[in-house]
Amino acid sequence: MKKYKVSLAEALSHIPGVDGERFAVVFEHGSLSVEIFSPQVVDTQKPHKRDEVYIVVQGSGEFLCDGQRQRFAAGDFLFVPAGVFHRFENFTDDLILWVIFYGPQGGEKI
């Protein structure tokens, strides 16, 4: 049966992962992949091969993307084009984000 809803509680039940991962894939459909992400202390991610959207569930901090630093808070929407360096810094201990990957490798061509 195809799943059409993933609650925040259900998504959070997948982190940390068996090897301590602070993210988990919670939904996939075609090129769409939805994850839950809750970094601890340091965000060590590297650029991704597809376009990416973050929706801040809770927490706040600074978002570094393509050399630009911006403050963020719960409810904010953040976009990262494929291949662009980005990370979360100076964030609160309770940071939780929905992460949405979509489209082709290399990102959307506009």
Encode pLDDT of 83-99 as tens digits: 999 999 999 999 999 99
Amino acid at 4: Y
Confidence of residue 58 (pLDDT cuts 50, 70, 90): very high
Question: 19-33 pLDDT, tens per residue?
Answer: 988 999 999 999 999
Helix (H), strand (E) at residue 12 = helix 8-12
Q: What is the pLDDT of residue 110?
A: 75
Residue 3 lies in a domain: no
Residue 1 lies in a domain: no
* CA pair distance 58, 54, nearest whole angstrom: 12
Q: Are 61 and 41 in contact, with CB atoms under 8 Å apart?
A: no
Look up the domain containing 82 and give its range: 8-102
User: Could you tell me if residue 108 is inside a domain?
Assistant: no
Does 51 have pLDDT greater than 80? yes
pLDDT for res 3: 80
CA distance 54 to 96: 10
Q: Per the domain annotation, does 59 fall within a domain?
A: yes
Quick one: pLDDT band at residue 9, thresholds 50, 70, 90?
Answer: very high
pTM recorded for the entire structure: 0.93
Strand partners, 86: 65
Q: How many domains does the chain have?
A: 1
- The enclosing domain of 69 has a CATH number of 2.60.120.10
Q: Cα–Cα–Cα angle for 39, 95, 75, nearest 5°?
A: 135
